[in-house]
Structure 1
Amino acid sequence: MAPSRTHCLLIHLLAVLTGVVTGLSLDCAPQCQCYENTTDCSHGVLTGFPRNQLIPSSTEVLLLNDNQISAVSRNPTLPNLLELNLEDNSITSISRPGSPFSRRPNLQVLRLGGNVISTVPASAFDGLSQLVRLYLNRNTITTITAFGSNSVVDSLKMLDLQDNRLTSIGIGTFTGVSLLSELNLSSNNISRIEDGSFGRLKKLRVLYLHSNHIAMLTSATFLGMPALTRLTLSDNKIQTLPDMAFIGATNLEFLDLSSNDLSTVTRTAFSGLYDLTTLLLERNNISSIEDGAFGDLVKLQSLVMRYNILQNMPASTLTSTDLWELDLSDNSLTAVRREDFARLAKLKYLHLHTNKITSVEDGSFANLANLIVLEIYGNLLTNVSAATFAGLVSVEQIGMGGSNRIESIPDDTFRDLPKLAHLGLLGLPLVSISDSVLSPLQSLKSIALSESRLRSLPALPVSLESLTIFRNNQLLTDIRLGDLTTLPRSATGDHLPLPNLTSVQLADTGLQKIHPFAFATLPALTSLDLSRNNFQSTSSVDPDAFGNLTTLLSLNIDRVTTWSPRVFRHLPCLQTVTLGTRFTCDCDVLDLGKWINKTGPLRGRSLERLREEDLGRTCPATTVPPATEPAVQFCPTPSPSPATSSQGPSSVAATLSRSPKTPAPSSTIGQTETCIGPSDVTVQNVKDSRAEVEWVHRGSADLTGFVIQYKQTLGENSDWRTTQQVHTVRRSYPILDLLPDKPYIACVAVFCNNIMPRQPEVMNECVHFTTGQTAASIPQAAVVGLAVGVPLLLIILVMAAVILLKRTGLSSAEHVDARTPNQPQQQEAPAESTEADRGITDDSPYNLINDDRCSSLGHENSYHNPDFLHLTEPAAKRIANPYS
């Protein structure tokens, strides 16, 4: 039968699509991949340019990076080539007679980083009159003459010479590249810069000089640089700044002088810098600041002076009313006075931790109505009161622990702080806290009371999500029903619950006894850490100790020796149990093994194979619980997670056959992954050189912080940069070292137990944005869609055509052979085993039924409490080496 019109059309469509797809891979060298206008021969073993091979003449991007090429060839001739990548090869010289690039006149981007080039002669780039970006980083260059007055690359806008062996910059070094907008000379051996060396670079906006050996600057070092907005001089040996050191670059916005040897900030050192917004002076030896030193810095927004030896900060020093971040941590300040910060009405972040402050005058923060974070931990304070924090109506985080000597807190200390969400009292020698101190704080989400001398727990606010108490000098000996509650406390036993508390850490607190239903007032608890305590006997943990914890996912109780199987009847959603090394091999352990078998395939499998003969004894039958005790309702078994390395701590299984002389490893039973990533990553307040990244994270038991990873998605700066670690309580972080009108991607990575367990998931944890635009972000999905949309459409069309052909063929076959018997649509499923077959009855303590209550539970419901002794600065530290 002749093919129908539909068949003809489908066949024609398949032929066209097949030609399009296969056409993408035609005419390409065997060791390369060709797609669109790109020829990719990277990451191979090539020792030279592909010769007499099929390199399409239409190639615009040729990738030869990461091979074994030792010399640059003039062939093949590629007149349309725009970008050539020769990074990470073995090229020793580009000084052969005549430029090796002369047959590629349209080249705009040339990458030669990661080779062993030592000299860049004047003729190296002859013929490259269109070159815009040149990368010579990570070589061994000691001399350069290619960019002098006779330079042929006078169209160059970006030049990267970082990580070479340059020792000096002369006045004629860059006279022939007047269009440069970015110059990177970091990580060289530069000790001398001749006055006026950058004078011809009238359009230079960004200059990196960090990580060199510069010891002296003059007022003419940066003369004639009206466009310069960003200058990094960190990690040098600068001891003094001359008067008007930057008078030739008065449009500077970002100046990094951190990690030098400065001892004094003179009155005129920063004269003329009226547009400066960020000044980094951390890690110097600054002991004094002359009056008026920052007088011209009227637009200053961020001043970082941590790790110096300042003893006081005169009020007249800080004159900018736009300042929103001030970091004076790790100095030698002794007092905070009422007038010190009176002018800083826009201040949001104030870091005073790790000084020698003995007193804070009442009202010292009264004018800081916009302050969000106040860190005064690690000082020598002996008392605080409501007057100490008066005026902080916007403060969300206060850290006041560390080496402070505060022994008592008045009842009204925090009552006038309506937005206080995170309170750090770690390390304070508190013996008791009144019930009226914390319970009225209706915005409080987390509190750290670690390393105190508390003998009992104070009443807590109903808003609390995370409580951390550890290393408590062995004084908190037991926990009983009513200890974790809010006001009013009830003498009749009707204790009020804490409905939002999801994470409790009571590690190393000296606990010896947990009474029945001790945590019954915590209906939302998902993570409970009772590790490193002093449970001495089998009666230390009552069988009903965890009664009412129907949402608990993770339990760490590593020093118990045994417990009743009734314990697990109260924990229907439990996924992870950490037992430690002291568990006794008795019949209760066998019951634990039975529980594991009933709850599905969990990570620790050695307990699943427990038998009575393994224990060398005969175990009695499990006692049936009283009829009044409600039957347990286990949650549906979660899907097994991917297998993890047996060397990691999270994959250690309980091993009971180990010799008594060898301690068994800590046992973690369960498969849940507690370290979850962030969600809803966005970027706000996008400016020319800064943006603020925000994200959502409900916390997890192991969370110890975040970092922001970011890079340009197009252009010259394609390396990832990483901020300092952001504290667990933060959900936003500003980046201030961006370049104007550039596309960026920013990702939020989590740290759990102070390690980054995985890289961010690009779709969920990253966001694209462009500086200098008002749009907050470009959805990642849109970018991915552009990358995969066209080939995916082709695949879908081909598959659709095949399916239509098959269906048409099947229809024809049915007409030809109508005698084919009907087949059953689905194979009959095997009969399911009954509960009786599995040994589970209504009276069994392991009655396993489906429970939808736990289907929506996850570790995102837990929240890790901050350790304010180790707080990082939320927005303080800027990247000293943006190319590292």
Structure 2
Amino acid sequence: MLNSILLLSFLTVTSFAWKTESSKTSKEICKNRCSCEEKENILSINCENKGFTTVSLFQPPPNKICQLFLNGNFLSRLNPNEFINYGNVTSLHLGNNGLQEIQTGAFTGLRFLKRLHLNNNNLEIIKEYTFAGLESLEYLQADYNYISAIEEGAFSKLNKLKVLILNDNLMLSLPNNVFRFVMLTHLDLRGNRLKVLPFAGVLEHIGGIMEIQLEENPWNCTCDLIPLKAWLDTISVFVGDIVCETPFRLHGKDITQLIRQDLCPRRNAGDSNHRAMQPSSDSQYDGPSPTLQPGVTPTKAPRASRPPKMRNRPTQRLTSGKDKQVLGPIMVYQTRSPVPMTCPSICVCTSQNADSGLNVNCQERKLHNITELTPKPSYPKKLHLTGNYLHIIYRTDLTEYSTLELLHLGNNRIAVIQDGAFDNLANLRRLYLNGNYIESLSRSLFVGLQSLQYLYLEYNVIKDILPQTFNSLQNLQLLFLNNNLLRSLPDNVFLGTMLTRLNLRNNHFSHLPVRGVLDQLSAFIQIDLQENPWDCTCDIVALKNWMELSSTSVVVNEITCDSPSKHAGRLLRSLRNDAICPEPNEVTVGLTKAPTVSPSTDSTPPFAITSTEEQIPEMHAEVPLSVLILGLLVVFILSVCFGAGLFVFVLKRRKGIDSAPASANNLDINSFQVQYGTTRTMYNTAVCILYSIFYFLCGNKSFLEE
């Protein structure tokens, strides 16, 4: 017994000492091994290029929401429970680690993780249980790997996943039902080996997609691509350029410009007779043309569509013979010399054809300033600067990039953008500023972006949007402001835009006005308002009515009440207006203000609205219980008085008849006097009672109004 007690005491002391040592170690991570900086109650732990081979022996400071940067280390394998001590981490960066294997259970403990970056590694497969334990994940980046296979069910547990980035891998196809339980809004599949993309099992499960990137894949534009073509014709989201690689007759053509007959020509009897004499359209020309029959127009010599395309990656890799064979260049026919290209020394530049401009990839190059890009690229169309150390965008940084159509500045540390920084980007259509430290937006920030269609500002710390911020963006169609700190929006904030997509998810909105904000979205299609602390009181009635009048596809996700406590957790649509706002006056005002006040009458004096409110008492409301009781009491008193008067009248009439005199004249006179006296008595009594009631009601007018 004594030995058992001693053993238990020893284990308790050892456990306490281990926890103390662990706490001591976590402090040393920030003081010695890694640099830590706290901003907006979020602790950023920078452990980049520190030589880590494992992180399971350490833990971040407790009770702190953390972002952990482990880029550029030697984490080639993630073992089970690798991050068991990192339960308070919401963003994890594992890029450029040479990561080859993620074992089952490696992410156990990361129950609050929302963003995971696995880019620029050596992953070859995503298994079914690779992401086990990441039920809160919203953003997954796994681009620039060697992923060639994804097991079915790999994303089935990631029910909150919204953004999936898988560009520049080696995927030939996607498994059936891979997105069945995922509500994706962004999907990037550029630069893979996809030839077809079926509707059944793949496209049918991404109906809520807002952006899908399918560029730089060797699309086989035959009958098998008709489901993709049909799906593209039914959606109104950004897709990117889908260019045919085969057959040769369609090489270099955009699928969106083709018709069904181009993809799958009809074969008649004449075609089938000499089909064996003609080469297949899917094959390359290896020999001379067959003998032409009379009446057949000779085919012109094939023209070049683009120079040879080489699979390039932003980082140098040691590849085996097998890898070299897989990553070999895709050669195409070429009849003219390629146009000389100037590319920054630290970037990788590609061009789809000689006339399409450069795609400049400078991802994760540790850039602190855009001016470090030397020499300047010639005719750049797309500039990717994600994952660098940019803090400030200066006014002169982009003066030589006027041809840009896409600028990606996401996942940097941008806190300041000088006025006029985008002034000369008149051709820019897509601007990514997500994942930075931007706190406020103003109109001067977007001057010069008259062609902008897609603006991504999610995952910043935006608190304020000044009036007229987006008014100059007349072609703006998609605006993402989710995962910020917004509490309100200014009047006329969307005036002049062509918005069809608006994401306000996961901010601090308690209510959202219809007048001046939502009523400006005339061409609206989708809005996401979920995960905000909605206050389901009188101020939200107008929003509820607007939702009910809109089509079911407008609001992507349901609004859930956060307060007051009696409505917490309930859907706004399920509540009645009188339950949300029981005061009839306030409900009436909320329903009548918007339609009676025109937005154009900004100079109307305040009494214009007051006049509408003064008419409210004239409307018929429910009768209060106190007035109803008083009315019944008055009726009862009148009934009693009337009955008493009638009884007296009958009694006196009978008495007069019994004691009547002999003379007939006296009888008539007495009867008349009795009737007259009785009637006058009843009349005086009734008048007195009615006058008393009228005086009581007038004197208690305030009581009745209550």
Global fold match (TM > 0.5): no
Higher relative contact order (CA 8 A, sep 6+): 1
Question: Of the two, which has the highest radius of gyration?
Answer: 2
For normalisation by structure 2, the TM-score amounts to 0.35
For normalisation by structure 1, the TM-score amounts to 0.29
User: Normalized per residue, which structure has more helix?
Assistant: 2
